[in-house]
Structure 1
Amino acid sequence: MEITLDKHAENEASVKIKLNEADYQPKVDAKIKEYAKKANIKGFRPGKAPFSMVKNLYGTSVLVEEINTLLSASLNDYLKAQEFKVLGDPLPVTEDAEQIDWKKQKEFEFEYRIGFVEKVDVSVDDTLEAKLYDIELSDKEVSDAIENIKSQYGKMTNPEESQENDFLYGDLKSEDGGFEESLSIPLSKIDGRSLKKFIGVKKGDIITFDPNKAIKGDLAEALGLGPEDAAKLSGECTFTVQNINRTEEAEMNQELFDKVFGPDQVSNEEEFIEKVKNILSENYKKEIKVFNEEQLKDLLIENTKIELPQDFLKEWLLKANEGKVSEKDVENEYPAYSKQLIWSLISNKVAEENDIKAEHEDVIEKTKEMIREQLASSGLASQMEDNMDMFVQNYLQGNEGRNYMQMLTAVQNEKVLDFVKTKIAPKEEKISVDKFKELIEN
């Protein structure tokens, strides 16, 4: 067997594997002999057919199978021994394979295209300037959250006359007759200049307005329409009010406390406010943690020179997901894929150089943390804690083991980022919720 490597680009190469008869024939003959012992061929007792006859019947298929097995193992072993990092999977040059005469040839040559990165050099020191944020909650965020809760758990009523923030249900018709549908209009989405038309109306009243001018933001989203229907709403329309819907805020009492947090969790208004504040704070801590981590990843990616074999990877993604994605899909998704791939190379390199390892116990704890968060959102966390080990086991064994590998990668990434923080000494800054939202938008 002869294996040669031809680096025809900075990050792409061809691997050629030449096989002669001595490389594969002993294994082919051994496999045919196994077949001969079990072969049930007409005119012969089971296992008594001549070797030559069995070889004639099964020889080609066994040859193809054994050569493919040999190629796969030899190529993998060869690539593992190289210093460069192979990306994706080797792509066979199929034009050459189609010319093979499996019945007559004794020597074979196969070619594979590969994409790789030669080396990954990551600098992690205090020359990297980073900033980590922490959120300071104001009384306004807490107050807004409580108002939302009171509204969410409030009682629905149908008043005689509309007020601000009501919902009007009725028939909307375009003047040109191209649109007619019964729907609900949230008055909170009406522009201030048009709002007076919708205030003080009663059942049966008709309002004339231009939805594209009167409704703030996305018209389809505000009215619950599809893009095609929303496009039909042009110019003046009439809206005939059928009903007025209003949510009266829930009172701050024990009934509300129990509905929100469960029985015996909160006993007065002060405790309720404090619990809401704590939950808000925890939620924002999680959000800012994710934001800070993404900022650190971006910083490392920007300061690490890694040239990916872009054309090769796009072709590999298309072939690896054949029938599931189009060339356009690959083009659209490639920027996000390449960014994640570069981060993975950086994370693995930092972990390797600094002996950072994701242990099995870490995976278990992170999975428990994830499941507790999911259960908490449904209010079942405390009841399900006794079954936590079962939930963890079921999750990690699911998806053919990929869930476990994803959690293992997540743990390593967290450890790598924690290590990076200790090396680059990032500046810390406390910001408001509004400032945080502004940073996310930008």
Structure 2
Amino acid sequence: MATITRENIGLLTDKLTVTLGKDDYFPAFEQSLKKYAKTVNIPGFRKGMVPSGVVKKMYGQSVFTEEILKTVEKELNGYMSKEQLDIFAQPLPLDSDARALDMNNLSDYAFAFEIGLKPDFTVNTNAINVTRYKINVTDEMVNEEINRLQIRNGKMTDPESVTSDDHVVNVDFKETDASGNVIEGGVTKSNSLLVKYFTEVIRKELQGKKKDDVLNIQLSTAFEPKEREWVISDLGLDKDNAADTEKTFQLTITKVGLIEKAELNEEFFNTVYAGREIKTEEAFRNEVKSEIEKYYAQQSSNQVHDQIYHHLVDHTSMEFPAGFLKRWLQNGGEKPKSAEEAEAEYPNFTNQLKWTLVTTKLVNENNITVDPSEIKEFAKEQIRGYMGGQDFGEAPWMDEYTNRMLQDQKFVENTYFQLQTTKLFQALETQVKAKEEAISAEAFAEKLHNHHH
């Protein structure tokens, strides 16, 4: 009868040795040879009529090796299941003292494996302290959003030249040298920009410009700071690289446009918020303010979740079987890695492992589940988002399209994980100790900007 011994060889690292006797593998080997003889095709013999000696001579050793390895795997998995070993990845084979497998020399064989055990740890979510920011929505913010909605739903006209900061210019960017000469092979890009995105000096220079007019700019001085970062990134440059921000470009105007803002009337109100029966400007302003408040409430909630995440990662003590995991990084993937590569990957790898272990524990403790119906509804919400947020009810094509999305296994797995994580953080949000702090939208945005996560 097969025997398995277990020996601790390091921190959370054990050695399992599986020893097989002749009776553990030989009956299965003989049975497999008989099955093989019935199905193998060998020239000169009818199928199923190949003499057993011929089959054994030609295929016996490979069948013998396969049966022994299958037996070892079965015994190993059975032992780990019985002992309820909670391990990382899969057991790693160790240099074994087993002699070369030989079907003509039946003997006892020993196979050794290294396993990495998952650590025991505790998580006390009631000890987590967070700050819940309450963003003050001002009249100025409401006015800015209404102006944005008016522009978004406005009508584009084609004036002959630029006469105000609200004009739009379609431009072609061509990188130049310091003298204004276009660099062959330099950065080129087309874009559409509001005149107000430029600095005051450039805005004045743009006044009266028409289609095909040209001007030269330097990125660092041509745009307001917020827009500059966006333009630099859109050009494929690095906003944090001083050399990139100092680059110069020739701008050729390809079109001048102006959006006539939509009027504040009932038609506009119902275009923006379909089905809400908004009839007055006051009611519309209240709805806009409510939507902004909902947005910032969600952003604030996300920020609480981020604080919870950092507390769980930074303050949950956990040990790992470092030697095993580094060897697994080297040999456990599709492509072997060097010891140096495994060493470099290890810190980030263990951070991911820690988060996986913590969330798995908390998901189980909080009984977080995701039903197939929730995944289906999530898919429908995505479709509605593609269609501009319209509710199509129980339209037959909606179910057909949804079912097609649910055939994508990757989509289902990603959605399951996303919904599970959302539910987990919503549960944890009710368990932690939160103090509320009022904050302006600008200060909140700066706080998010300065937090590199």
TM superposition score category, shorter chain reference: 0.7 to 0.9
* 1:167 equivalent in structure 2: 169
* 1:74 equivalent in structure 2: 75
* 1:436 equivalent in structure 2: 444
Query: Counterpart amino acid of 1:114?
Result: I
Q: How far is the alpha carbon of 1:110 from its aligned partner?
A: 3.0
Task: Identify if the C-alpha distance between structure 1 residues 68 and 40 changes in structure 2 by more than 3 Å, giving closer, same or farther.
Answer: same
| Counterpart check, 1:379 vs 2:388 | yes
Q: How far is the alpha carbon of 1:305 from its aligned partner?
A: 0.5
Q: Distance in 2 between matches of 1:336 and 1:149?
A: 43
* 1:154 equivalent in structure 2: 154
Task: Identify if the C-alpha distance between structure 1 residues 47 and 411 changes in structure 2 by more than 3 Å, giving closer, same or farther.
Answer: same
Q: SS at the partner of 2:392?
A: helix
| Counterpart check, 1:18 vs 2:13 | no
Q: Distance in 2 between matches of 1:6 and 1:57?
A: 39
* 2:222 equivalent in structure 1: 214
Q: SS at the partner of 2:156?
A: strand
* 2:50 equivalent in structure 1: 49
Q: Spell out the pairing of 1:40-439 with structure 2 (5 A cutoff).
A: 40-82=41-83, 85-93=86-94, 100-103=100-103, 106-125=107-126, 127-162=127-162, 163-165=164-166, 166-169=168-171, 172=174, 174=176, 175-178=180-183, 183-184=190-191, 186=193, 187-203=195-211, 205-216=213-224, 221-222=230-231, 224-227=234-237, 238-262=250-274, 266-309=278-321, 312-313=324-325, 316=328, 321-322=333-334, 338-352=350-364, 354=365, 356-359=366-369, 362-364=370-372, 366-377=374-385, 378-379=387-388, 381-385=390-394, 398-399=408-409, 403=412, 407=416, 413=421, 416-417=424-425, 420-421=428-429, 423-439=431-447
Q: Distance in 2 between matches of 1:172 and 1:40?
A: 69
Query: Counterpart amino acid of 2:137?
Result: L
Q: Spell out the pairing of 1:1-16 with structure 2 (5 A cutoff).
A: 1-16=2-17
Query: Counterpart amino acid of 1:226?
Result: G
Q: Deviation string for 1:251-276 (max 9, x for gaps)?
A: 23355345444478655544544444
Q: Distance in 2 between matches of 1:336 and 1:395?
A: 33
TM-score by length of 2: 0.76
Paired residues of 1:130 and 1:299 also in contact (CA < 8 A): no
Q: Percent identity?
A: 26
Q: SS at the partner of 2:10?
A: coil
Q: Deviation string for 1:230-271 (max 9, x for gaps)?
A: 978966655454532333322233553454444786555445
Q: Distance in 1 between matches of 2:308 and 2:244?
A: 46
Paired residues of 2:197 and 2:224 also in contact (CA < 8 A): yes
Query: Counterpart amino acid of 1:148?
Result: R
Q: Distance in 2 between matches of 1:335 and 1:139?
A: 48
Task: Identify if the C-alpha distance between structure 1 residues 430 and 69 changes in structure 2 by more than 3 Å, giving closer, same or farther.
Answer: farther
Which residues of structure 1 form unaligned runs of 5+?
none
Q: Distance in 2 between matches of 1:379 and 1:326?
A: 50
Task: Identify if the C-alpha distance between structure 1 residues 233 and 299 changes in structure 2 by more than 3 Å, giving closer, same or farther.
Answer: closer
Q: Deviation string for 1:387-436 (max 9, x for gaps)?
A: 67767765555317x835862x5565556555545554433445443343
Q: How far is the alpha carbon of 1:29 from its aligned partner?
A: 1.5
Q: How far is the alpha carbon of 1:26 from its aligned partner?
A: 1.5
Q: Deviation string for 1:292-349 (max 9, x for gaps)?
A: 2232232223222012345654654565553599999988886665444323322333
Q: Deviation string for 1:84-116 (max 9, x for gaps)?
A: 6312233334x6699844555644333333333
Deviates more, 1:172-181 or 1:323-332: 323-332
Q: Deviation string for 1:271-296 (max 9, x for gaps)?
A: 54444444444444443333322322
Query: Counterpart amino acid of 2:356?
Result: S
Q: How many residues align?
A: 433
Paired residues of 1:351 and 1:357 also in contact (CA < 8 A): yes
Query: Counterpart amino acid of 1:76?
Result: N
Q: How far is the alpha carbon of 1:216 from its aligned partner?
A: 4.5
Q: SS at the partner of 2:256?
A: strand
Which residues of structure 2 form unaligned runs of 5+?
none
Paired residues of 1:120 and 1:349 also in contact (CA < 8 A): no
Task: Identify if the C-alpha distance between structure 1 residues 189 and 98 changes in structure 2 by more than 3 Å, giving closer, same or farther.
Answer: farther
Task: Identify if the C-alpha distance between structure 1 residues 115 and 392 changes in structure 2 by more than 3 Å, giving closer, same or farther.
Answer: farther
Paired residues of 1:220 and 1:227 also in contact (CA < 8 A): no
Task: Identify if the C-alpha distance between structure 1 residues 385 and 275 changes in structure 2 by more than 3 Å, giving closer, same or farther.
Answer: farther
Q: How far is the alpha carbon of 1:222 from its aligned partner?
A: 1.2
Paired residues of 2:130 and 2:432 also in contact (CA < 8 A): yes
Q: Distance in 1 between matches of 2:361 and 2:140?
A: 44
Task: Identify if the C-alpha distance between structure 1 residues 87 and 146 changes in structure 2 by more than 3 Å, giving closer, same or farther.
Answer: farther
Paired residues of 2:4 and 2:19 also in contact (CA < 8 A): yes
Paired residues of 2:171 and 2:254 also in contact (CA < 8 A): yes
TM-score by length of 1: 0.77
Paired residues of 2:219 and 2:248 also in contact (CA < 8 A): yes
Query: Counterpart amino acid of 1:245?
Result: G
Task: Identify if the C-alpha distance between structure 1 residues 36 and 21 changes in structure 2 by more than 3 Å, giving closer, same or farther.
Answer: same
Q: Distance in 2 between matches of 1:325 and 1:138?
A: 56
Q: SS at the partner of 1:245?
A: strand
Q: Distance in 2 between matches of 1:78 and 1:9?
A: 20
Q: Distance in 1 between matches of 2:38 and 2:281?
A: 83
Task: Identify if the C-alpha distance between structure 1 residues 50 and 363 changes in structure 2 by more than 3 Å, giving closer, same or farther.
Answer: same
Q: SS at the partner of 2:129?
A: coil
